[in-house]
Structure 1
Amino acid sequence: MCARLRMSSVTIFLLLAADNLGQIGKVTDVSSILSNHAAIANPSISERSYGLGWVRTQLPGVVRLIGDNAGLWEIKDSPLLGSKDRSLLMIYHQGATVGYYSFMALFPETDSAVVVLTNAIGLSDTADWIARALIQDLFNFTDSRDYAALAKEANKRALGEFEQLSAEVSSLRAACLDSDPSPLAINSFVGRYTNKKLELFFINILSYPGDRSDRSDRLKDQTYELRYLYRSTFKWSLIHDELKKRGRYNAALATFYLLEFEVHGDTSDPDLLESVEVFKRDE
């Protein structure tokens, strides 16, 4: 479900979706879609499993297992949703991409649902926190958890991941300095590199006085300074705020910000390796 709505509210959007569903008929295989297909984040005494795109959790229990808040707490330390005086099955889905979050929760025992769609992404998964607060109020849970305070703590942890990213990249460079040969001349890396599998994506390495830039689609706001890291590897890591200004998704993994060139012998004709994808330099 996309959160980039043209409607004025979630209510109108859901009514429109229901109307469209009435025109195409009933959704089939609902039981199969929502059934337990695999264990998730076990061990767990209570129900915690994965359907086809949906997570089944017995409340009180840990939620947020497929959203952007998933890695901010260890399972054993995660804030629970729900209260012990009321056991309730919750089936939920979390969505996210550049620009929005979504959270949908179904409660079969009460024929209830909670849907939260946002038109922006924050430091942590905002839709998750809003949905929890609504669910807490809907069922009058007695857990008394302060989700505003939890969201602030999650934001601190999310920023901390970017600090860890910077430290990890610095440690990687320090570990390779002793065995680091002299890098090739800057012009050795200049060129257009095309993805070998699809041939739809390419990366341009442009040369400017004093820098090396990765320009992925000829847009100025998509031009980044490449900084030499070690051997034939460069980094383009940015701080969190800069990522958001450029419309990029939250990503605090070092491998996401490293561009590795494959240098063929002593020649100055490298290929660009990006994770498991290979970008071949155009002739």
Structure 2
Amino acid sequence: MEKQQGPSTNMIASRFIAARPTIQKILSSAGTVGLSYGVLHHGEVVHVDNFGYRDHAQKIPMTEETMMPICSMTKGLVSSALGFLVEEGKLEWDTRVAELLPEFASRSQTLKESATLTDFLSMRSGIERYNIWTQSDNRIDFAKSDGMKIINSLGTVFDLRADFAYNNWGYKIATRVCDKVTGQSWDSYLHEKVFRPLGLRRTDASGDREGFDNVARSYMVLDDLTPVEIPTIEMSGKTILGGAGGVVSCIKDLLPLYKHMLKGAVHQFENSSTATPNNIFRQLPSTMSAHSQVGGPSYHESTYGLGWMRTQLPNTLLKFGTNVGLLGEGPVIGRGADTKLVIAHYGSMPGNFAAVLMYPESESAIVVLTNTTPLCDMTDYITQFLTQTLFDFPEKVDIFSWVKRTVEEELKWYSRLVADRDCKGTNSTDIVNLQQYIGRYWNTTKTLLIEIRTDLESLVISFEGRAEEMWPLTHCRGEVFSWLQPRNKLVSRGRVVLQSAPYYEIRFARAGHGSVNSLFWSHDSMIPGGEEYTKENTK
């Protein structure tokens, strides 16, 4: 592929410099504490910039060496780790998971008999999202050793290969396979095969991070844009879903990483090969090709590969997530310009957002890291703004107006949820016998505990029985109670708030017309009725 000719590096850099006030305005409007980004074009770094603080209290600024979680951008690296093993003939992308992992015993007979690595990596397996593995303050409640037990217990929400649904658990399977085939942990394998050969000194998946300096703190944002510090997520090779989001890095390391990956991808696609001379990456046409359709029929491509999204511009870059979830739509960028393929991934955890967008025709890339969960997905909007700036599209979208709309919708979330829910809004003292609900309730795998207690004659819910994880229950109707709280209270505890009303509801159930023996929590809108938790000592 010949590099597309265009403006000089200096001209492109000048566009980004001129755009700096607008970027600052966009960031400030949603409460972003700190952000770093870098841009590649024709395989070379053309611009790097930093905004705000890595430590808000101490007013320590961001730099290109500031380390932050790259969140779900980790998935593309995990698929690359498996690519090495495929290249060496140790497994195939379409190998059945049950052949690689005898402990894989899904309750779905179809998955157990037929599901492949590709099915899980491309998010077409149909298993439940079960996205409750973190609770307040980024605490991970599930033990790493419980991973396969949880996966085996998950039901399905659609038939195998029938649809796409974003899901982290397939990457637990991927890292388990990597561990078993290599005889070492997936994180040490990534360090050996990728991080050390590329000289990435400020990139880590091991979790041993005490020796690093210049590490960003993480923040949530209150309704008035005041930042609140929360603990940074501690995902890594030591935790249950490290392969879904456990790498930390910085812009200085990520730019050469994706430059190297882009060169390998361009060569391998052009030459119908799986390897590139003097390039560490293998099997990139497999990991970066389409395996699942995202959303409904589309004139331009919108698909998912193995840890990578593919989008053909003009299009909405991210068709699921915070912004589209709030507005029901996203901006279409790239109108009036030649179509462009984007190979990308986004990531988020409370207190952090991240994104990488690669444009293979021009060997361009945009990488963004931020240490804030503001009042929108800022990396989504900033990458769109930076894309328009890089390619100087003739028809530019007013990204600031989209940010304003999204912020307004997020601030309406709590009042809208209160208005829409079927709830009396009274505390639980109007129930005569509160004692009947008190107890310890376990999920099927005994990996998550919900404890119901009383506090000043009202019911409270406590996840994992922790005092710091107690929430008052409001009686809604019948035997349904809600632990919904005002947005500021939830985000101050590191809670992502954009859930539906049933997420915050607990429904108690009885054995026939007898005593309370279980409760149901609807933490996944795709699971009718919610997940059942059985009361301890109930037969």
What's 1:165 paired with?
Answer: 417
Runs of 4+ with deviation above 6 angstroms:
none
What's 1:108 paired with?
Answer: 360
| Counterpart mapping for 1:193-232 below 5 A | 193-197=441-445, 199-232=446-479
Cα distance, 1:168 vs structure 2: 2.0
What's 1:186 paired with?
Answer: 434
What's 2:84 paired with?
Answer: none
User: Is 1:140 paired with 2:392?
Assistant: yes
Cα distance, 1:17 vs structure 2: 5.4
Of 269, 274, 280, which aligns to 2:516? Answer: 269
Unaligned 5+ runs, structure 1: 175-181
What's 1:31 paired with?
Answer: 285
Could you tell me how far apart the structure 1 residues matched to 2:290 and 2:502 are? 33
Cα distance, 1:16 vs structure 2: 8.1
Of 313, 318, 321, which aligns to 1:64? Answer: 318
| Contact 1:60 1:81 survives alignment (8 Å) | yes
Structure (1 or 2) with the greater helix fraction: 2
* CA shift in 2, pair 1:42/1:193, >3 Å: closer
RMSD over aligned CA atoms reads 2.8
Give a deviation string over 1:133-176, Cα, whole Å, max 9, x none.
2111111123333322311211112233433321221xx247xx
* CA shift in 2, pair 1:86/1:10, >3 Å: farther
Number of equivalences = 268
What's 2:380 paired with?
Answer: 128
What's 1:257 paired with?
Answer: 504
Could you tell me how far apart the structure 2 residues matched to 1:42 and 1:7 are? 45
The 3-state SS of whatever aligns with 2:441 is strand
Whichever residue aligns with residue 464 of structure 2, its letter is D
The 3-state SS of whatever aligns with 1:104 is strand
User: Is 1:98 paired with 2:98?
Assistant: no
Whichever residue aligns with residue 193 of structure 1, its letter is Y
Could you tell me how far apart the structure 2 residues matched to 1:15 and 1:186 are? 58
| Contact 2:251 2:368 survives alignment (8 Å) | no
Give a deviation string over 1:218-251, Cα, whole Å, max 9, x none.
5443210001111111101122222111111133
Task: Please give the TM-score of this superposition, normalised by the length of structure 1.
Answer: 0.84
Could you tell me how far apart the structure 1 residues matched to 2:257 and 2:297 are? 37
What's 1:11 paired with?
Answer: 251
| Contact 1:67 1:95 survives alignment (8 Å) | no
What's 1:241 paired with?
Answer: 488
Cα distance, 1:269 vs structure 2: 3.4
The 3-state SS of whatever aligns with 1:160 is helix
216-225 vs 257-266, which moves further: 216-225
| Contact 2:442 2:449 survives alignment (8 Å) | yes
| Contact 2:334 2:396 survives alignment (8 Å) | no
* CA shift in 2, pair 1:217/1:109, >3 Å: same
Could you tell me how far apart the structure 1 residues matched to 2:327 and 2:255 are? 36
* CA shift in 2, pair 1:146/1:31, >3 Å: same
What's 1:44 paired with?
Answer: 298
| Contact 1:3 1:118 survives alignment (8 Å) | no
Could you tell me how far apart the structure 1 residues matched to 2:502 and 2:280 are? 44
What's 1:150 paired with?
Answer: 402
Could you tell me how far apart the structure 1 residues matched to 2:310 and 2:417 are? 32
| Contact 2:508 2:516 survives alignment (8 Å) | no
What's 2:230 paired with?
Answer: none
Give a deviation string over 1:198-235, Cα, whole Å, max 9, x none.
x1210111112232111113544321000111111110
Unaligned 5+ runs, structure 2: 1-67, 72-202, 204-211, 215-248, 262-278, 425-429, 523-529
Whichever residue aligns with residue 32 of structure 1, its letter is S
What's 2:100 paired with?
Answer: none
Cα distance, 1:252 vs structure 2: 2.5
60-69 vs 124-133, which moves further: 60-69
What's 2:276 paired with?
Answer: none
* CA shift in 2, pair 1:7/1:107, >3 Å: farther
93-102 vs 46-55, which moves further: 46-55
| Contact 1:61 1:81 survives alignment (8 Å) | yes
Structure (1 or 2) with the greater strand fraction: 1
| Contact 1:3 1:119 survives alignment (8 Å) | no
Could you tell me how far apart the structure 2 residues matched to 1:16 and 1:51 are? 22
* CA shift in 2, pair 1:120/1:219, >3 Å: farther
The 3-state SS of whatever aligns with 1:204 is strand
